[in-house]
């Protein structure tokens, strides 16, 4: 169990499930520590995979936003084929929607894990 997130791999459906823990990223150092923990777990897969993220109760404070966004984009490029998200605060979901628009990526934000997984499996069938 990580300080910032728990990462599991669903071999049957071939995706990583990242569940953010209830923490606050106060500054850039926190955002880098968060990313380092995710890097450690995702690098074990040794390949890019689809990802489903439970945004949970993660709070990204203003002093951490720029570093968090930069790290999130880097990790997406390094580890993700596609990303699907669920849960999280309205503020975090809004940031993701904005960032997805700026980076020309699908936001794929859903209310529940089941909805996110269904969308992932549906998109694979296209």
User: Could you tell me the CATH number of the domain that includes residue 120?
Assistant: 3.30.750.24
Q: Look at residue 109 in the predicted model and tell me its pLDDT.
A: 87
Domain count, the chain: 1
Better-scored residue on pLDDT, 80 or 102: 80
Q: Look at residue 12 in the predicted model and tell me its pLDDT.
A: 94
Mean pLDDT, the chain, as a whole number?
90
In degrees, to the nearest 5, what angle opens at C-alpha 76 toward C-alphas 28 and 106? 115
Domain region containing 26:
5-124
pLDDT at 123 over 70: yes
Nearest in space to 75 (alpha carbons), one of 104, 115, 109, 32: 32
Sign of CA dihedral 115, 42, 79, 24: positive
- DSSP H/E element including 49: strand 49-54
pTM of the complete model: 0.86
Q: Are strands 80-86 and 109-110 parallel, antiparallel or unpaired?
A: parallel
């Amino acid at each position: 169990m990580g300080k910032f997130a728990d990462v599991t791999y669903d071999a049957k459906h071939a995706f990583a499930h990242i569940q953010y823990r209830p923490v606050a990223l106060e500054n850039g150092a926190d955002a880098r520590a968060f990313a380092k923990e995710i890097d450690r777990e995702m690098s074990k897969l040794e390949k890019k995979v689809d990802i489903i993220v439970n945004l949970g109760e993660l709070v990204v404070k203003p002093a951490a936003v720029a570093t968090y966004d930069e790290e999130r984009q880097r990790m997406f490029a390094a580890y993700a084929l596609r990303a699907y998200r669920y849960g999280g605060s309205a503020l975090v979901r809004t940031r993701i929607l904005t960032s997805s628009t700026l980076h020309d990526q699908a936001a794929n934000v859903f209310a529940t894990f089941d909805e996110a997984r269904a969308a992932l499996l549906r998109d694979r069938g296209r």
